[in-house]
Amino acid sequence: MIYDHRTYTCRPGTIAKHMKLYGEFGWPVQRRHLGDPVIYGAVETGDVNSYVHIWQFDDAADRAQKRAAMAADPEWQDYLKKSADAGYLVSQVNKILKPAPFFPG
């Protein structure tokens, strides 16, 4: 089991607009390809212009296959264009995590 942990930061004052755009155009297609995330949430304290989502995969091959299918989906490409045109995002940090030996991942 692996987890894809992503943190995105939006320009100040735009996170609500970005979440609305993603909710309408990104969320349905991403869930269709990746399933339900472990968590998808906006940061409430700290960097309040950011949000985090974590997706669970069987292994690196499972992640690669699902993400490739999503990348090839015209609806996902449409969302990426809308997101880029809006210009709300300023940074992205990705981490691949694996459960600790004592954690029942």
- Ordered structural domains, the chain, with CATH: 2-96 (3.30.70.100)
Task: Tell me the pTM.
Answer: 0.89
What pLDDT is stored for residue 44 in this prediction?
A: 92
pLDDT of the chain, 105 residues: tens digit per residue: 999 999 999 999 999 999 999 999 999 999 999 999 999 999 999 889 999 999 999 999 999 999 999 999 999 999 999 999 999 999 999 999 999 999 876
Long-range contact set of residues 69-78: C-beta below 8 Å, sequence gap at least 24: 69/33, 70/29, 70/30, 70/33, 70/34, 73/29, 73/32, 73/33, 75/25, 75/28, 75/29, 76/26, 76/29, 76/30, 76/33, 78/25
Per-residue model confidence (pLDDT) at position 104: 76
